[in-house]
Amino acid sequence: MKNRILLAALILTIYIGCQKSENTTTGNPFVSLAITSSSANATVVKLKHNVMDLLMPKAFAYPPPATLLDAVGNTVIIQSVWINIEKIEFKQLELADTSEVDGSDVEFQGPYSIDLLAASPAPIDAGRVSLAQLRRMKVKLAKVTVLPTGAPSGFLTKSIYISGTVNGNSFSYSTEDETVVEIAGPQLVNAVENSTLLLELQTANLIKKTNLTSISGTTNIDDTNRIPIAGLCPNIDTSASDLFTCFRKGFETESNLGRDDDNDFQLDTEEDTVK
């Protein structure tokens, strides 16, 4: 059930093809794209794959630990996470707003309304791409205009929506932000033919690095109610002075893009990643 899939291991997972065939960085590989949650560094429980998973790799969510703790030990349960994406681009350069005319980007056009706690998503796009080496990914957010089937009502007119509890107190985080979430690093990831790329959005680590003590009753964190308190997430953003900023910045800092060569739906130390 969705409510038992806590956010201990939230990952935005992007599938490109099914299996690695040869280690080439040239050509225009055909890619398919799907987005879901999966494992992360914060995950301690994992499912075994069956034979069919090896023959036809697919995205699914790993069950997290029974409880998730924030930076100071508050008990957190995440019940819902949705994101609405207008488009996705891969870039060869790491730095934002520099040499955007590099002539080698890959774009998937949405919008895509995604339940990040769904266990079995379907591919949402496919095509041939011209970019063979990656250092940066840009995810353009967009506000929801029509509520998707199964989505919570709070997701309407928002681009990101999270709900859950902290020590039993209900809270939500939402934003109307329509800017770009960027994930980048100094290392290169080669997009080889029929390989699998993963973008791990490790929201579990975001929670672990944020002090949620200020949520002591029903709390709705949004663009106009940011819950201003300094020093809530110094390991995410030392300048952050409110919970809203901690969540929004954490979507960028607690993430990694890489190539999942063994199709185990997580980025292992021996696999190419941008960070």
pLDDT-based confidence at residue 201 (cuts at 50, 70, 90): confident
Per the model's pLDDT, the better-predicted residue between 96 and 263 turns out to be: 263
Q: What confidence tens digit (pLDDT) does each residue in 134-188 have?
A: 788 888 999 999 999 999 999 999 999 999 999 999 999 999 999 998 888 889 8
| Pairing of β 106-115 and β 30-33 | unpaired
Mean pLDDT score of the chain: 74
pLDDT given at position 194: 75
Q: Average the pLDDT over 42-63 and give the result.
A: 35
> CA angle, corner 22, sides to 53 and 104, nearest 5?
100
pLDDT given at position 61: 40
Token output for 146: 């029509």
pLDDT given at position 79: 87
pLDDT given at position 102: 45
If you average pLDDT over each of 6-20, 63-77, 78-92, which comes out highest?
78-92
pLDDT given at position 233: 96
User: Is a pLDDT exceeding 80 seen at residue 106?
Assistant: no
From residue 162, give the alpha-carbon distance in Å to each of 19, 221, 234: 33, 10, 21
How many CB atoms neighbour CB 3 within 10 A? 11
- Round to whole Å and give the CA distance between 236 and 210: 8
- Round to whole Å and give the CA distance between 212 and 221: 11
Token output for 88: 């996705």
Q: What confidence tens digit (pLDDT) does each residue in 118-138 have?
A: 765 555 666 666 667 778 888
First-to-last C-alpha distance (Å) of the chain: 33
Delimit the domains of the chain by residue range. Answer: 2-209+255-259
Q: Residue 111: is the preceding peptide bond cis (ω within 30°)?
A: yes
Does an H or E element contain 136, and which?
strand 133-141
- Round to whole Å and give the CA distance between 114 and 14: 12
User: Is a pLDDT exceeding 80 seen at residue 49?
Assistant: no
| Pairing of β 169-175 and β 219-221 | parallel
141 and 150 in contact (C-beta within 8 Å)? no
